[in-house]
Structure 1
Amino acid sequence: MKRAYLLILSLVVVGTCAAQSTLTVAPGDDLQAAVRAARDLPAPVTILLADGLHVLPATLQLGPADSGLRFAATAGAAPVLSGGRPLTDWTVVDGVWETVLPEVAAGTWRPRQLWVDGQRATLARSPNAGFYRTAGVDPALPRRAFFFEDGQLDAWPDLADGLVTVLHSWESARLPLASVDPVARRAELSGDNWWDLGYWSTPNRWYVEGLAASFDQPGEWHLETATGLLRYRPLPGQTPAGSTVIAGRLPQLVRIAGEPRVGIQAADLRFEGLTFAHADDDLPAEGRSDPQAACSVTGAVELWGARGVEFIGCRFTHTGGYGLGLRQGSQDCRVERCEFVDTGAGGLRLGEITLPRSAEEHCSGHTITNNWVHDYGRLYYGGVGIWLAHANDNIISHNEIADGHYTGISIGWNWQRGPTASQRNQVLNNHIHHLVNGMLSDAGGIYTLGDLDGTVLRGNHIHDLFAHVTPDYSWGIYLDAESHGVTVENNLVYAVEDGLMLHNGAYRNTIRNNVFAGAADWLVWRAPGSIPELNEVTNNVFVVTQGSLYYYDSQPETASTWDHNLFWRTDGQELLFMDDSFAAWQALGLEQNSIIADPGLGWPPNLARVREGWPEIGLAGFDPEAAGLVGPAAWTDAPRRIRR
């Protein structure tokens, strides 16, 4: 014990005063040892991290004994907690950088990601851009064997290093190659896709990574697992001496865990001003394919059975999965003014896909506010910006979510009328934009599932969501799978593939005081006639610029209250309600006090006009510019500097 204690003293500088105790940790010091030392100091204790790269030898473990501990940067510092390994021992062969990693050859390490000068490098890929398309599916193995075109694959000796990504409608799979028959042009994968290939779209888009034959472009890297040889083909201007290269190693950087079932939680920890980076992909040997939201993918930092933990002004970047996971039994935590960027899946995930068995196991009471989530889904295209599964009583507010391949915010888990623990969530004043981007389909700016009683979607500003062509829809607000108990109000949705989705059985929802404008295809898909309880859709503005007001349904639901709405069409074509005129629609008892009139909205929508409202239909004005980040200009202006 004495020897271990002296070792701790040699690694950290200890200072105490009447107010608090501090430990200062420099890069290369043992952070886990500092945590152990902090347990013996007078509370409160703050561990200050000095500037630089803090390479973690193992996942930092924190538990109930560390309750109240704080982690922060020293004054003016920008410390990075890294789960990667810097690579420095390079030789250059014909312009290609090479290094040998003995642990790879020994089978104890297989990096899945590489970052060079702060940018994600591309694992050797074919095709270099875009996708191949499946040329057919083997009916004997419809979830793992497909046919390809001549020249796309061959029986190369390094097939075991090959990894195929397959895109489905709203998800993607990452599955290792098992075999290739170049004569039959048939490829078999090591694991199953969640759906039969071709189920959602025929053909499926796919690409292959990790093969030596694909290592042909600047910015690509390749790993020969049999020998441990890692190669990188540099971009113009890069040199081994002048570049920082980091390979992924730890899938998880920090784990905070209590025992909520016996009333013991890790409580009141705080992290401020830190960067969490270089968490590798924990891809199973058989690969990974999920039904939705990259739901089996973990976070670089995860909380289980934790209460009152705070992340303030932190950055989560260069990850193989989600940035942060608030998991089972975690309650009353706060994530504020953090940036989530270059994540393998989404930004944050809350809760589980299985129901909690007790109140102690609920994921609830969290505040996720004023965060910037962007450029996510880099490995798992179905990752969600902020995903709530079975998670209740949370506030998701003033976040900016952009540049992902799927949904911005998703709430709920369990389709139709199955039990959920996803009630009373508040989704307020978020700016959600430039999502899906032609990569996946069937997404939502905000997407919901099932029983959500007491949930409110208010004040959100949603625009620029466009889907892949099969199926060619994504919705600004998507109440899916019998979503019910939701209030949707004061939202602006425009420049989207499609506007408002109710068709998949959404019932007992209130949709009021919103503006939906400018959908490429359909502005609204109404609920079916079979819903058990009625919706109320009032005091909204609907502006058609092209396509149709409603997705056609030969038996539209007409019992719900649709009234005091304003409709307009800008392209000179007749405004139809399904295939009917407005007068015929009113004859069905709908829209008795609604009007067809030019709202003066303009294009793109005039936000000042939205603030004024439309008193003629009882629509109170609201301010879309109140959505998104708040605070100093250096923070709020950062998303606007991104060029698209």
Structure 2
Amino acid sequence: MSPRTRTLRSAAAAFLVAAAVALVPLPAAQAAPGAKVLHAAPHGSGTSCTVGHPCSPEGARDAADSGDRIQLADGTYRLNKPLTLDADDSGVTWAAERGAHPVFSGGRALTGWSANADGTWSADVPDGVTPRQLFVDGVRAVRARGEACAASVCDATTTGMSGAEKTGIATWARPTDAEAVIRVRWRNYHCRITGVSGDNLTFAQPCWANSASGTNRTGPAWDSTAVDSTRYSGVAYFENARELLDQPGEFVWDSAARTVTYLPRKGENMRRAHAVTPVTENLLVLDGAHDVRVTGIGFVYAAYQQPSTDEGYAGMQAGLTLTGATGPVDHAGRYYTKPAAALTVRAGRHITVDHAEFTHLGGAGAVLEQGTQDSTLTRSRFTDLSSGGVYVGDTEPVPAPERVGTRNTVSYNTVRRTGVEYTDSVGIWAGYEAATVIDHNSLDDLPYSGISVGWGWNQPEAKQSVLRDNRITGNRITNVMRVAYAQHDGGAIYTQGAQPGTVVSGNYINRSAYGNTERDGNGIYLDEQSSHITVTGNVLTRLGYKWVSNWADYGIDNHATGNWTDTDAPALAGTGSTMADNHTELDRLPAEAIEVAAAAGADGPGRVEQLRPDLARAGTATQSSTDGTATAAYATDGDTSTDTRTLAEPGAWWQVDLGAARHVGQVEVWNNTSMTTTDFDVQLARSADFSDATTTHVTGKALRPTLLDTDTEARYVRIKLTGTGRVALAHVLVHP
């Protein structure tokens, strides 16, 4: 081995027992002729790196030369600091031994649990550790949280918030350990309370200032989604107070006593349980390295420390935050901060990460940034992450040539249940990138958008940037923009900025914002200055609003052709944009569409949820009154973007005559896109006078959709208010 001039890095410490991570078995691979095979193990030390005397990962790294292969034995590698590979570490393969499941962990075990009289258990926390997440036997615990607080009580201003007395916070033992969690449209905020004075709360700085209006740094100049904006509806919940600890699986951190207190779930025994909190950020960092392959390695319990500091989490979009008390004014978000990730690649060249497992993380899974090029992240799994799955690129529209991210590929990965804590995060994000390929990934159960490519909103920078020739192809995106998380204005696939040559094709999108009350749960959302994008051959079903949205007239030259969907959408806005040969308002997917949908995703062929026939479309719709423009038939035209409404009147109704008595198995009621039908009866009858009607009452707002299983014979289906108001509907489907 040639002499190494760099300083040896310290070895990893003790072995941490953790649940094995099930990875796809990899075939044995050999090092190149003349190259070495080095061996590392959780308990390894020294520099011999043989099977009998394995090294630590740091020792193996320092002993390796270009062309060598480092094989990692089974077990958990506890990392007290990141394992860093720089340019000197290029050309090396890091791989699991045959049949092994090596796991890099940033977690710290919490031991010595003692029982409390109220059924909770407590453990001391070592100095230097601030538990933000807790995992008990591999299952994520929840920071103790309370109920929502409406803006009428918790009134947010640029300096703080009211409501300390009515919420009971004024009487809490340690309110300054608690945080307010706020969601405003597409943004998520987490700021810690710093003081209580009467009914007033103050919050950590600069977190609160960066979350409120008036900084002149928080996103686009037109933005109105700060915590003190007119769109603010209240606090989603306060969390991390002992007084809120009332549900099994919740925990609370007491910074004064330096203890974690946990209320066990049924069957959990804290004397035997394995409890872990993430401590170390950035488990593996490739900084300027090239031609490195990382294969078959798991990443668990990596931390994301910023939200627990005074910076907090001032979410801007897609999991990026505004940090610092001061900084350049830039309404295009050039200076936003990405979340900490278990794996980070900076300025990498020809990096390959495959068959990796990212799970139980306090931040994001992987970040490829600062001009990483020609690199691939493939056949890996991301699940149970506090932030987003994958971040590719940066927010600088015209970086120096060596900092341009280009020709990176994210393919055949599974991304599921990410954004668990920071619900504005997305599954896969790419900023100002060129020739990025996001192909055949499976994304499911996400709080906000699935795949997001581009940046810049309506700022001039977004018109002329390095964005171009990106491909979002063959992905399976299901159950995104989940209604329970109240994050709005996104889509299964979301874009920004002019992107000449970008193609969105062959994707299967099912259930985006399905069950929402808002009108902004889109399938493919070409937002703001999205331009020069082709949308073709996609299958989109069960969407909260439009299957394709290009609302801004400065988003130009976009083309949607040959797509299949169960609804319709207005024509694309912007000069030169077109829609042609799309198969819309379907109530059954044809064989060709099913073939495209089944082929999408990482594991194909995959299941395709077939549409149900709609009896209402062939029926005759009427209503108690109309304003002359919103006719009754708009609710049976198969288009969720057109609406009908009655006048405001007692007992207002809308109905459809199916022409003959038919078996009705289910009724879908979709609310209007600008006003909502509230507190109504759904009546099914064989006779026109409804004397034999079967009635189901719906309390509160109609969703998009409200689903009612009926299983009865009926010719007439009526939606009738039980009070005064309007019946306002976008869609009513009657399924046999």
- Confirm or deny: 8 A CA contact 1:134 1:147 kept in the other structure: no
TM-aligned CA deviation for residue 381 of structure 1: 0.6
Match of 1:96 among 120, 142, 160: 120
Determine if the alignment matches structure 1 residue 22 to structure 2 residue 37.
yes
- Confirm or deny: 8 A CA contact 2:499 2:531 kept in the other structure: yes
Match of 1:196 among 226, 231, 252: 226
Match of 1:342 among 384, 395, 398: 384
Distance 1:241 1:178, change over 3 A: closer
TM-aligned CA deviation for residue 392 of structure 1: 1.2
Instruction: Work out the CA distance in 1 between the residues paired with 2:515 and 2:195.
Output: 29
Determine if the alignment matches structure 1 residue 132 to structure 2 residue 137.
no
Match of 2:374?
Answer: 332
Distance 1:299 1:246, change over 3 A: same
Match of 2:356?
Answer: 314
- Confirm or deny: 8 A CA contact 1:343 1:377 kept in the other structure: yes
- Confirm or deny: 8 A CA contact 2:13 2:80 kept in the other structure: no
Match of 2:297 among 255, 266, 274: 274
Instruction: Work out the CA distance in 2 between the residues paired with 1:179 and 1:407.
Output: 35
Instruction: Work out the CA distance in 1 between the residues paired with 2:116 and 2:521.
Output: 47
Match of 2:133 among 83, 107, 113: 113
Instruction: Work out the CA distance in 1 between the residues paired with 2:87 and 2:14.
Output: 24
What are the Cα deviations for residues 404-432 of structure 1, in whole angstroms up to 9, with x where unaligned? 11101111011234233221100101011
Determine if the alignment matches structure 1 residue 47 to structure 2 residue 85.
no
**What SS class does the counterpart of residue 542 from structure 1 fall into?**
coil
**What SS class does the counterpart of residue 108 from structure 2 fall into?**
strand
TM-aligned CA deviation for residue 84 of structure 1: 0.8
- Confirm or deny: 8 A CA contact 1:268 1:308 kept in the other structure: yes
Match of 2:417?
Answer: 375
- Confirm or deny: 8 A CA contact 1:132 1:207 kept in the other structure: yes
Paired letter, 1:232: Y
Instruction: Work out the CA distance in 1 between the residues paired with 2:227 and 2:114.
Output: 43
- What pairs with 1:380-419 in structure 2 (closer than 5 Å)? 380-416=422-458, 417-418=460-461, 419=464
Paired letter, 1:512: T
Paired residues, what number?
539
Distance 1:5 1:475, change over 3 A: closer
Instruction: Work out the CA distance in 2 between the residues paired with 1:375 and 1:16.
Output: 37
Distance 1:122 1:73, change over 3 A: same
- Confirm or deny: 8 A CA contact 1:382 1:406 kept in the other structure: yes
Identity %: 27
Distance 1:5 1:301, change over 3 A: closer
**What SS class does the counterpart of residue 529 from structure 2 fall into?**
strand
In the TM superposition, structure 1's runs of 4+ consecutive aligned residues that sit over 6 Å from their partners are 4-12
- Confirm or deny: 8 A CA contact 1:169 1:471 kept in the other structure: no
Distance 1:475 1:200, change over 3 A: farther
- Confirm or deny: 8 A CA contact 1:73 1:273 kept in the other structure: yes
- Confirm or deny: 8 A CA contact 2:293 2:352 kept in the other structure: yes
What are the Cα deviations for residues 542-595 of structure 1, in whole angstroms up to 9, with x where unaligned? 20xxxxxxxxxxxxxxxxxxxxxxxxxxxxxxxxxxxxxxxxxxxxxxxxxxxx
Paired letter, 2:319: A
Instruction: Work out the CA distance in 1 between the residues paired with 2:560 and 2:145.
Output: 46
TM-aligned CA deviation for residue 18 of structure 1: 5.3
**What SS class does the counterpart of residue 560 from structure 2 fall into?**
strand
Instruction: Work out the CA distance in 2 between the residues paired with 1:421 and 1:607.
Output: 39
Paired letter, 2:278: G
Paired letter, 2:543: V
Match of 1:554?
Answer: none
Match of 1:217?
Answer: 247
Determine if the alignment matches structure 1 residue 170 to structure 2 residue 193.
no
What are the Cα deviations for residues 112-133 of structure 1, in whole angstroms up to 9, with x where unaligned? 1111111111112113xxx332
**What SS class does the counterpart of residue 623 from structure 1 fall into?**
helix
Distance 1:426 1:32, change over 3 A: farther
Paired letter, 1:204: G
**What SS class does the counterpart of residue 624 from structure 1 fall into?**
helix
Match of 1:476?
Answer: 523
- What pairs with 1:188-267 in structure 2 (closer than 5 Å)? 188-190=202-204, 191-192=207-208, 193=211, 195-197=225-227, 199=229, 201-258=231-288, 266-267=289-290
Paired letter, 2:176: A
Instruction: Work out the CA distance in 2 between the residues paired with 1:204 and 1:32.
Output: 54
Paired letter, 1:425: N
Distance 1:208 1:606, change over 3 A: same
- Confirm or deny: 8 A CA contact 2:431 2:453 kept in the other structure: yes
Instruction: Work out the CA distance in 2 between the residues paired with 1:444 and 1:280.
Output: 28
Instruction: Work out the CA distance in 2 between the residues paired with 1:189 and 1:470.
Output: 31
**What SS class does the counterpart of residue 61 from structure 1 fall into?**
strand
Instruction: Work out the CA distance in 2 between the residues paired with 1:155 and 1:11.
Output: 43
TM-aligned CA deviation for residue 29 of structure 1: 3.7
**What SS class does the counterpart of residue 176 from structure 2 fall into?**
helix
Match of 1:628 among 590, 596, 601: 601
Instruction: Work out the CA distance in 2 between the residues paired with 1:429 and 1:314.
Output: 21
Instruction: Work out the CA distance in 1 between the residues paired with 2:123 and 2:132.
Output: 16
- Confirm or deny: 8 A CA contact 1:64 1:257 kept in the other structure: yes
Instruction: Work out the CA distance in 1 between the residues paired with 2:151 and 2:146.
Output: 14
TM-aligned CA deviation for residue 93 of structure 1: 3.0
Distance 1:245 1:138, change over 3 A: closer
- Confirm or deny: 8 A CA contact 1:411 1:422 kept in the other structure: no
Match of 2:589 among 606, 615, 633: 606
Match of 2:174?
Answer: 158
Paired letter, 2:72: L
TM-aligned CA deviation for residue 70 of structure 1: 1.7
Distance 1:109 1:178, change over 3 A: same
Determine if the alignment matches structure 1 residue 508 to structure 2 residue 553.
no
Instruction: Work out the CA distance in 2 between the residues paired with 1:29 and 1:174.
Output: 40
Determine if the alignment matches structure 1 residue 291 to structure 2 residue 316.
yes
Distance 1:145 1:454, change over 3 A: same
Instruction: Work out the CA distance in 2 between the residues paired with 1:16 and 1:479.
Output: 46
Give TM-score, length-normalised by structure 1: 0.78
**What SS class does the counterpart of residue 383 from structure 1 fall into?**
coil
Distance 1:237 1:9, change over 3 A: closer
Q: Which runs of 5+ in 1 are unaligned?
A: 259-265, 544-600, 612-621, 640-644
Paired letter, 2:550: L
- Confirm or deny: 8 A CA contact 2:68 2:93 kept in the other structure: yes
Distance 1:316 1:537, change over 3 A: same
Give TM-score, length-normalised by structure 2: 0.68
Match of 1:566?
Answer: none
Instruction: Work out the CA distance in 1 between the residues paired with 2:58 and 2:76.
Output: 18
**What SS class does the counterpart of residue 71 from structure 1 fall into?**
strand
**What SS class does the counterpart of residue 290 from structure 1 fall into?**
strand
Give RMSD over aligned pairs. 3.0
- Confirm or deny: 8 A CA contact 1:198 1:204 kept in the other structure: no
Distance 1:323 1:362, change over 3 A: same
What are the Cα deviations for residues 23-54 of structure 1, in whole angstroms up to 9, with x where unaligned? 32222446995445444445422222222221
Paired letter, 2:443: I
TM-aligned CA deviation for residue 396 of structure 1: 0.6
Match of 2:725?
Answer: none
What are the Cα deviations for residues 337-385 of structure 1, in whole angstroms up to 9, with x where unaligned? 1001111111101111123532210111111110000101111111111
TM-aligned CA deviation for residue 243 of structure 1: 2.0
Instruction: Work out the CA distance in 2 between the residues paired with 1:607 and 1:177.
Output: 55
Distance 1:343 1:623, change over 3 A: same
Instruction: Work out the CA distance in 2 between the residues paired with 1:110 and 1:121.
Output: 15
Radius of gyration: which is bigger? 2
- What pairs with 1:514-553 in structure 2 (closer than 5 Å)? 514-518=563-567, 523-528=568-573, 531=574, 533-543=575-585
- Confirm or deny: 8 A CA contact 1:111 1:280 kept in the other structure: no
Distance 1:361 1:379, change over 3 A: same
